Amino acid sequence: MEQDVLHLVLGDRPPDMTAAEWADFGRWLERITAPDYRRWETDVRRIEGCAHPVRLAGSVLLVDSATGEILHELTSDKHAPLMVPCGNRRRAWCAPCSRVYQWDTWHLVKAGLAGGKGVPASVSTHPRVLLTLTAPSFGPVHTRSADGACRPRRDGGECEHGIPSACWMRHAAEDPLIGAPLCAACYDYAGAVLWNAHAGRLWSRFTDVVRRQELPRAAGVSKAEFARLACLSFVKVAEFQRRGLVHFHAVMRLDPPEQGGALPDWADHEIIAASARRAASRARVVTCPSRVGQWNLTWGAQVDVRPIPETGDGSADKVAAYIAKYVTKAAEESGTVDFPLYCKGCRGTGLARVCHHCGGTGLRIPLSALRVSSHVREFITTAWRLGRLPEFRDLKLRRWAHQLGYGGHFSTKSRAYSTTLTTLRAARANYRADQLSKRFNTAGKLIVDSDLRFVGTGYASKTEEQIAEGIRDAIAENRRIAREALADLRWRESDHWEVE
């Protein structure tokens, strides 16, 4: 680095730097030596190096409500707007903000299992299961099996398109073929897109069947009586599989109808598990009839249900981490793009060639320009084509083509399950306000009086973006080191130490 600075002072490019790197380096040096840099860097650290911060202009005053005294003032100036984090859920978009979201979800799921955050500790004694529901098959795809070939079929023959029905390859974990069909012409892309588009409805149908039919039947009581004795709550997250279909992980819990009440004897995790399995095999959604056909959509045969034990913090922690892991992802696991493809000018209709944004295609960019696998391209193209049919208007398939038809939320919960993300965020804001009150030693309540307007999103230049990325990485690295040090300390304090 020192060598590089010398070169800069001398104004000649070092031999091992390209012209572009040299120019980058000059811009970087210019930025970090600017008079406002220190303040800017403090700001970026405060928002933990958020990848797409919101820039605001105006001022924020911290006022003591008792005395009216202005304790602190933050004002933007032309070169240094105030920055707030983007708050995005998706890791691919902003790692620091997605971490906050993930952490909140962890607390939310954990509170529903072990209590806390306003949820009574008695929930930890309620029966609950961890459930995974998958999509059915829409044609054979390449898979990765731990102990052998992909699809070993000795007498498999071939399909009508002349493609062998067997695959003797052992696919590596990163092989892009995994999840792609053996024969694209045989694969039911329309069915797969419509399945994704109806997955949310299929989930509602499923919970309805569990609640109103399977649980009352298994308990030997009427529907109405069941509702008086117990209620079912859940939290679920959606995950995209490599084959482009969504599936769900969920916690389902049985509660007494009133807080502090008792559950009947039959209410255990086995009754939830058995009812969920039966409901999964029975629930279905039939698509509306269309010129391309009609589909009877069900869950796949792979249904996984396991009890979450009553005691032991570990199990609640683990399940919460397992569920929270998925909330920072969108459809990118399937290899698709992470932005909508429809033209915003005409909402994807491309009507009558009047839209000057897209020239009547309805597309933001041509589908042929997408850098995706042929499987994903086929998925997107099918969603786009089906999106034109009036029969499927409700499904907004063009709006959700980039998510392969899935337009549902990536995490949802029933009201009774736990606290809410909004409550957790409010608690965090209150905590911060308390800390500030303490720091300024206020007589009354701390009032935040802001007068702000939106300036833009993201950083002002590519150089700032790169510096912020460095700060983000440094914060993450510090966290990792702190976590390891803490784990080490715990280990030393634990029995391991004494045993040795």
For Zn ion, the binding residue among 108, 130, 167, 324 (CB under 5 A) is: 167
Assess 185 for contact with Zn ion (CB under 5 A): yes
Closest by CA position to 104, among listed 481, 423, 493, 475: 423
What is the rounded CA–CA span in Å between residue 451 and residue 429? 18
Assess 149 for contact with Zn ion (CB under 5 A): no
Torsion angle (degrees, nearest 10) of CA 363, 367, 371, 374? 150
Q: In degrees rounded to 5, what are phi and psi of residue 378?
A: -65, -40
Tokens at residue 10, please?
A: 């001398």
For Zn ion, the binding residue among 95, 130, 150, 386 (CB under 5 A) is: 150
Assess 475 for contact with Zn ion (CB under 5 A): no
For Zn ion, the binding residue among 54, 63, 86, 320 (CB under 5 A) is: 86
Assess 50 for contact with Zn ion (CB under 5 A): yes
Assess 57 for contact with Zn ion (CB under 5 A): no
Q: Which single residue is written with the structure tokens 């405060």?
A: 46
C-alpha Rg value of the chain to the nearest Å: 28
Alpha carbon 454 to chain centroid, angstroms: 26
Number of residues that bind Zn ion (CB under 5 A): 21
373 contacts 180 by C-beta, under 8 angstroms: yes
Assess 119 for contact with Zn ion (CB under 5 A): no
* Residue number, 83 or 316, with CB nearest to Zn ion: 83
Torsion angle (degrees, nearest 10) of CA 164, 170, 175, 176? 20
For Zn ion, the binding residue among 136, 156, 300, 345 (CB under 5 A) is: 345
Q: Which range of residues in 104-112, 321-329, 341-349, 395-403 is near Zn ion by CB under 5 A?
A: 341-349
For Zn ion, the binding residue among 80, 92, 159, 436 (CB under 5 A) is: 159
* Residue number, 101 or 226, with CB nearest to Zn ion: 101
Q: Is 370 helix (H, G, I), strand (E, B) or coil?
A: coil
Closest by CA position to 87, among listed 323, 453, 449, 428: 428
At how many degrees (to 10) do helices 374-386 and 189-209 cross?
A: 70
* Residue number, 79 or 170, with CB nearest to Zn ion: 170
Q: Considering the complex, what minimum distance in angstroms separates the CB of residue 287 from Zn ion?
A: 23
Assess 176 for contact with Zn ion (CB under 5 A): no
Q: Which single residue is written with the structure tokens 């969504």?
A: 246
Assess 236 for contact with Zn ion (CB under 5 A): no
* Residue number, 130 or 358, with CB nearest to Zn ion: 358
Assess 425 for contact with Zn ion (CB under 5 A): no
Assess 161 for contact with Zn ion (CB under 5 A): yes
* Residue number, 52 or 117, with CB nearest to Zn ion: 52
Q: Considering the complex, what minimum distance in angstroms separates the CB of residue 429 from Zn ion?
A: 17
For Zn ion, the binding residue among 54, 63, 97, 135 (CB under 5 A) is: 97
Tokens at residue 278, please?
A: 């039966």
Q: Is 260 helix (H, G, I), strand (E, B) or coil?
A: coil
Assess 142 for contact with Zn ion (CB under 5 A): yes
The CA-based angle 91-101-319, given to 5 degrees, is: 95
Closest by CA position to 468, among listed 458, 477, 478: 458
Assess 358 for contact with Zn ion (CB under 5 A): yes
Tokens at residue 494, please?
A: 């634990």
What are the residues binding Zn ion (CB under 5 A)? Answer: 50, 85-86, 94, 97, 142, 150, 159, 161, 163, 167, 169, 183, 185-186, 343, 345-346, 355, 357-358
